[in-house]
């Protein structure tokens, strides 16, 4: 296991679950032989055999000085991972989202492979409306890999895809504690030399970012961490989560970029900023300075660590101190090139290299102390919220014969930032998932509605 993958295990606490969730709506009328939960479970059991990451579990030892390892779960049981909840004939969308919030509030069992799928049925029992709430630990996937694994489980038509026998035969073997300890010891012995290489490069990062800012020539510099204003959702988390969903027409989003320039990501940051600004104004908590989002960036094309997580991040201003949506968009778009250049000036593997160096026991105990002392309420705010945009498949997908109509992703929350918005582009739309700490933002649906309203306003103002 790489240091970056393992760090998501160390960061996890009872109130900070490092799980990526997703709500997938299914049209089961496309299933040729008809839908049944039992048939779906049998089909998934066959498909998972060709997805090695879903058959592996964490192996560790108190004597291991290094990071844990992935081992094959030869006692894999699909009934532990695929479960059903029947919401009944009167089940509503609100009940569905409330159920998803409760499921997102529970940790995954590390004694098994770190994923689950909950099938949620509502309406007519003989022809139910079916959704799947998928949960995968962040140590297993990042956003890009999650989309790839979903594609591996799905197909481009309603037929059952052929199983790849080579993937089905791929496994990493049984747990070997002596081998684990020896590998951990080798890793620790190599850290001093690695530290000598990392320190000069890390100390040179500020100068590299200044040079990148100079080459960009215009636009605001990337916001610095610990400079974000404190808002009502920038406090310590509780274990309880609430979720909401919204879908945006991708053609409408691209219409804004055609009129104003910029990118789809610029539109996303603008409408999320507008929605959060409106939400805080309604609660009398609108900050005078701009809020700051952290935006994950895939390094999958630049980095080959062999780990599941190949990701970096950049800080981005949401320009929430600007009332006019068009002016806010132009400011975000102008800063984007500078911010990307500054983020690109940092070697993609640097974060992963430092994660490998992390003393695991210290990180684990430090995170628990940080949570117990509620330090996120004390130190300056690092960032206000997470905004992530994940490219998905451009065509329709079928999950075990059922057409996927919507896929709404939800990223994990970290102490100090109780709100996250994740977007997945697929089949001509952006499917967004809004997840919050229920005690900080009990009504994420208000933020979701605000996103739609912000896009409508942007379209109206740029129509002339």
* Catalytic center residues: 138
Count Cα atoms within 13 angstroms, Cβ side, for 78: 14
Taking the C-alpha atoms of residue 397 and residue 158, their distance in angstroms, rounded to an integer, is 8
Within a 13 Å sphere around the CA of 118, how many CA atoms are in the beta-carbon half? 21
Q: How far apart are CA 215 and CA 204, in angstroms?
A: 17
Other Cβ atoms within 10 Å of 210 Cβ, number: 13
Q: Hey, which bits of 28-68 come out as E strands?
A: 56-59
Question: Which stretch of DSSP H or E encloses residue 405?
Answer: strand 402-410
Dihedral angle of Cα 392, 394, 399, 403, to the nearest 10 degrees: 130
Question: Residues 141, 146, 151, CA angle at the centre, nearest 5°?
Answer: 140
DSSP 143-196: HHHHHHHHHHH-BSSSSPPPP-HHHHH----S--HHHHHHHHHHHHHTHHHHHH
Distance CA 364, CA 23 (A): 30
Eight-class DSSP state of 228: B
CA dihedral 423, 70, 12, 392 (to 10 degrees): 0
């Amino acid at each position: 296991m790489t240091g970056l993958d393992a760090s998501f295990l160390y960061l996890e606490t009872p109130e900070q679950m490092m799980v990526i969730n997703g709500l997938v709506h299914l049209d089961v009328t496309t299933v040729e032989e008809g839908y049944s939960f039992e048939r779906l479970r049998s089909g998934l059991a066959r498909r998972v055999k060709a997805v090695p990451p879903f058959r592996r579990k964490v192996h560790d030892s108190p004597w291991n000085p290094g990071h844990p390892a992935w081992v094959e779960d030869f006692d894999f049981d699909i009934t532990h991972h695929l479960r059903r909840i029947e919401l009944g004939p009167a089940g509503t969308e609100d009940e569905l989202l409330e159920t998803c919030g409760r499921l997102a509030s529970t940790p995954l069992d590390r004694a098994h492979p770190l994923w689950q799928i909950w099938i949620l049925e509502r309406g007519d029992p003989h022809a139910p409306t079916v959704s799947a709430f998928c949960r995968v630990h962040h140590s297993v996937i990042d956003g890009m890999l999650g989309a790839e694994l979903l594609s591996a489980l799905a197909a481009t038509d309603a037929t059952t895809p052929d199983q790849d026998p080579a993937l089905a035969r791929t496994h990493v073997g049984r747990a070997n504690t002596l081998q684990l300890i020896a590998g951990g010891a080798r890793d620790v012995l190599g850290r001093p030399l690695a530290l000598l290489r990392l320190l000069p490069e890390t100390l040179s990062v500020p100068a590299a970012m200044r040079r990148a800012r100079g080459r960009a020539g215009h636009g605001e510099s990337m916001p610095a961490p610990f400079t974000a204003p404190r808002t009502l959702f920038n406090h310590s988390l509780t274990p309880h989560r609430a979720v909401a969903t919204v879908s945006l027409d991708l053609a409408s989003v691209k219409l804004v970029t055609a009129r104003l320039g910029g990118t789809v990501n610029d539109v996303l940051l603008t409408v999320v900023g507008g929605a959060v600004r409106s939400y805080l104004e309604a609660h009398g908590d609108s900050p005078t300075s701009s809020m700051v989002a952290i935006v994950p960036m895939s390094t999958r094309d630049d980095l080959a660590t062999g780990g599941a997580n190949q990701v970096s991040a950049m800080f981005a201003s949401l320009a929430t101190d600007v009332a006019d949506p068009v002016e806010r968009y132009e400011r975000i778009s102008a800063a984007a090139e500078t911010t990307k250049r500054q983020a690109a000036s940092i070697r993609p593997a640097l974060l992963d290299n430092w994660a490998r160096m992390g003393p695991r026991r210290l990180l684990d105990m430090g995170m628990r102390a940080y949570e117990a002392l509620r330090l996120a309420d004390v130190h300056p705010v690092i960032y206000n919220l997470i905004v992530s945009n994940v490219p998905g498949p451009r065509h329709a997908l079928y999950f075990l014969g059922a057409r996927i109509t919507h896929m709404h992703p939800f990223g994990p929350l970290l102490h100090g930032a109780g709100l996250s918005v994740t977007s997945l582009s697929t089949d001509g739309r952006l499917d967004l998932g809004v997840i919050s700490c229920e005690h900080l933002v009990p009504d994420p649906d208000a933020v979701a509605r605000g996103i739609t309203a912000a896009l409508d306003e942007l379209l109206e103002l740029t129509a002339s």
